[in-house]
Amino acid sequence: MPYNFNGTQSPPYDIALSEFGLTPDFEFTDTLFNSGQWTEVIYQFTAAGNEEYVYFGNFRNDADTEIESLSGNASSINVAYVFVDDVSLNLSSDLSVSTFDNKGNATFYLQGEELMIKLDENVKYLDMKIFDISGKIVLEDKIIENKSQNFRIDVSTITTGAYILSISNIEKGMSYSKLFLK
């Protein structure tokens, strides 16, 4: 008896992940067909914290899927499959409320939706950049005429994840880079 996903389909089946109400966490868009050899794909996924599973593979419907045809003696078949090997998951500790200290010169911490920066020196001008883990700038700000050593940066617009904070002040000849998690 043939399998019918929605009661109307018969082989070949065209079942997309969207029919299950899911979206892939990882989607590799290049063709992986490589003459029967392994193709290494490296992907880093940062969990939001509510995941039960990580979905990866070919989740497109047939019309959107590039298919390589393999021919035998008398027939031809279309195939799409993925072998997965050597998968690793690494758990990171939650540093969202930790304080970072750089040899007594600067302290960084999150307070709600603000990144608090306290500098030991009386700094009035500050260039600040926040980079995601791929190196893309996600937030940039210049603080001018600050009357204290405390700087408040609104980070409510950036999504949960790992970021690199870079602050500099050419006038004082200082620069700091720190990793933080929101």
What are the residue boundaries of the structural domains of the chain, listed by start? 1-91, 100-181
Phi-psi sector, 18: left (phi>0), alpha (psi -120 to 50), beta:
alpha
The DSSP string of 93-145 is P--TT--EESTTSEEEEEETTEEEEEESS----EEEEEEETTS-EEEEEEE-S
Query: What pTM did the predictor assign?
Result: 0.41
What are 67's two structure tokens?
């298919």
Residue-wise pLDDT for 33-53, tens only, equals 555 666 676 666 666 666 666
Write the pLDDT tens digit of every residue in 140-159: 888 776 666 777 888 888 88
pLDDT mean across residues, the chain: 64
CATH class of 100-181: mainly beta
